[in-house]
Amino acid sequence: MAEIRAGHPAVGMQYEDLRHQSDTALVGMWLFLATEILFFGALLFAYMVYRLWYPAGFVAAVRHANVLIGTINTAILLTSSFTLTAGLLLARVGDMRRLVWACLATMALGLAFIGLKAVEYVEDFHEHLVPGAGFALAETPGAQIFYLFYYSATGIHLVHLAIGIGLVAYIVRRTRRGDFSARYHTPAEVVGLYWSFVDIVWLFLYPLIYLVGRGG
């Protein structure tokens, strides 16, 4: 088997070389993100259906969302994509020490996002914006459905973000262990792709939850 596993120790026996393996891993992540689009797509589709059905309720509900926290979180998430991408650029020229720093910054930003989101949830809870008995906007049909989407969409996004933070931590560990080099740091590239996607999902959620209808 030794002759089969020739080349870099990370190359699986089904691959010709490192390049072949790295590219395949990236294509794999792209395809996974395609499935994620369909996953969130189903939720957004249901959101659209009910938005058309209950326009007034949705607009009333949007006005109760905390646009300040939403906007700060958008900025935080965009910055985190920047730090991670910068780290990947540095990794490509072999600066593994700075890749670790960039990853740590990314994780910190991700945690800040989660922290602010938690503050927002607590606030919503105090304002009785939780669907069910005692819901503040119970008089407005559709507002409850909006909040259901609010919690499921942001909740599922948060789970994705938490997984992302875990993956970045894994990259930090492997980089520190000396597994990566300018030539081989495919897992970091794959995680970077995933992180950017989680970021993009938020860019769709942000206007749908905080903005559309607020002006009118």
Partner 1 sequence: MSAERLVAEPVNYLTDGWTIRSWLLTHDHKRIGLLYLASITGFFFLGGAAAALIRFNLLTPEGALVSAETYNRLFTMHGIIMVWFFLVPAVPVTLGNFIVPLMIGARDLAFPRLNLFSWYLFMIGGLVALYALFFGGVDTGWTLYTPLSTSYAKGHVVAAVVGIFISGFSSIATGLNFMITIHRLRAPGMTWFRMPLFLWSLYATSVIMVLATPVLAMTLILLSLERLFGIGIFDPALGGDPLLFQHLFWFYSHPAVYIMILPGMGVVSEIVTTFARKKVFGYKFIAWASIAIAVIGFFVWGHHMFVAGQSLYASLVFSILSYLVAVPSAIKVFNWLGTLHKGTIRFDAPMLYALGFIGLFTIGGLTGLFLASLVVDVHVTQTYFIVAHFHYIMVGGMVSAFFGGLHYWWPKITGRIYPEMWGRVAAILIFFGFNLTFFPQFILGYLGMPRRYHSYAPEFQILNILSTAGSTILAAAYLLPLGYLTWSLVWGERAPANPWRATGLEWRTPSPPPTENFAEIPTVTEEAYNYPPPEVAQQHG
CB of 140 to partner 1, least distance (A): 11
The whole-angstrom separation of Cα 163 and Cα 186 is 18
Instruction: Map residue 17 onto helix, strand or coil.
Output: coil
Q: Kindly write down the DSSP assignment for every residue of 111-144, as one continuous string.
A: HHHHHHHHHHHHHHHHTT-SSSTT-TTTTSTTHH
Segment contacting partner 1 (CB under 8 A): 6-14, 62-70, 72-80, 161-169? 6-14
Please identify which residue in 6, 7, 17, 34 interacts with partner 1, judged by CB under 8 A. 34
Segment contacting partner 1 (CB under 8 A): 15-23, 75-83, 96-104, 175-183? 15-23
Q: Which is nearer to partner 1, 39 or 125 (CB)?
A: 39
Segment contacting partner 1 (CB under 8 A): 31-39, 102-110, 117-125, 172-180? 31-39
Q: Which residues are CB-contacts of 190 (< 8 A; sequence separation ≥ 6)?
A: 25, 26, 28, 29
Q: Which parts of the chain fold into alpha helices (H)? A: 18-53, 55-64, 67-92, 96-126, 143-176, 186-206
The whole-angstrom separation of Cα 176 and Cα 64 is 45
Residues 155-214 that bind partner 1 (CB under 8 A): 156
CB of 42 to partner 1, least distance (A): 4
CB of 162 to partner 1, least distance (A): 17
Question: Within 10 A of 213 (CB to CB), how many other CB atoms are there?
Answer: 18
The whole-angstrom separation of Cα 143 and Cα 117 is 20
Residues 121-160 that bind partner 1 (CB under 8 A): 131-132, 141-142, 144-145, 148, 152, 156
Q: Which is nearer to partner 1, 31 or 68 (CB)?
A: 31
Q: Which residues bind partner 1 (CB under 8 A)?
A: 1, 4, 12-15, 20, 23-25, 27-28, 31-32, 34-36, 38-43, 45-46, 49, 53-54, 131-132, 141-142, 144-145, 148, 152, 156
